[in-house]
């Protein structure tokens, strides 16, 4: 299934005339395999052995291309450590406060919260983000 999504992403990149390079392919593949919402640095560290000439800037540039093509979402946290999500459907996140891992979970969209926010504030609401914080199973094990 993941591989199917990767194939679709590769296909849609092709249609936007983005040139496929081995590095670009590897970065995209890593993103679609990763379930942890990696940072650009995580991706760089995972692939630098395979591509010794690749820089963090290359990773960033590729992520920007993927983002513009609508293949990944960027989750910003107000600092430089943006995380990248290859799941562009609506979903929520649980974040481990110890290791920073981000895990997807699905819950019906809280549309009524958006409607209420619009009524109360007169904002034109576009979207919302909800995050649950805690300690992941691996980190719980390390603590005991």
Nearer to Zn ion, 23 or 87 (CB): 87
* Residue 119 in marked binding region: no
Nearer to Zn ion, 27 or 54 (CB): 27
Binding mask 66-105 for Zn ion (x = CB under 5 A): -------------------x-x--------x-xx-x--x-
Distances (CA, A) of 110 to 27, 107, 129: 32, 8, 10
Written as one string, the DSSP assignment of 82-104 is -EEES--SS-EEEEETTT--EEE
d(CA 27, CA 4): 16
* Residue 93 in marked binding region: no
Binding site per annotation, positions: 96, 99, 128, 136, 139
Residues contributing to the site for Zn ion (CB under 5 A): 85, 87, 96, 98-99, 101, 104, 136, 139
């Amino acid at each position: 299934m993941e591989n199917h999504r990767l194939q679709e992403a590769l296909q849609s990149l092709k249609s936007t005339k983005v040139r496929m390079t081995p590095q670009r392919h590897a970065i995209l593949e890593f993103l679609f395999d990763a379930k942890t919402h990696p940072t650009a640095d995580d991706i760089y560290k995972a692939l630098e052995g395979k591509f010794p000439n690749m820089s963090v800037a290359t990773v960033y540039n590729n992520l920007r291309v993927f983002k513009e093509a609508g293949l990944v979402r960027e989750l910003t946290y107000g600092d430089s450590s943006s995380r990248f999500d290859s799941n562009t459907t609506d979903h929520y996140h649980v974040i481990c406060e110890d290791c920073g891992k981000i895990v997807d979970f699905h819950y019906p969209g809280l549309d009524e919260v958006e409607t209420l926010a619009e009524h109360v504030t007169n904002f034109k609401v576009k979207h919302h983000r909800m995050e649950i914080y805690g300690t992941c199973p691996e980190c719980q094990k390390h603590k005991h």
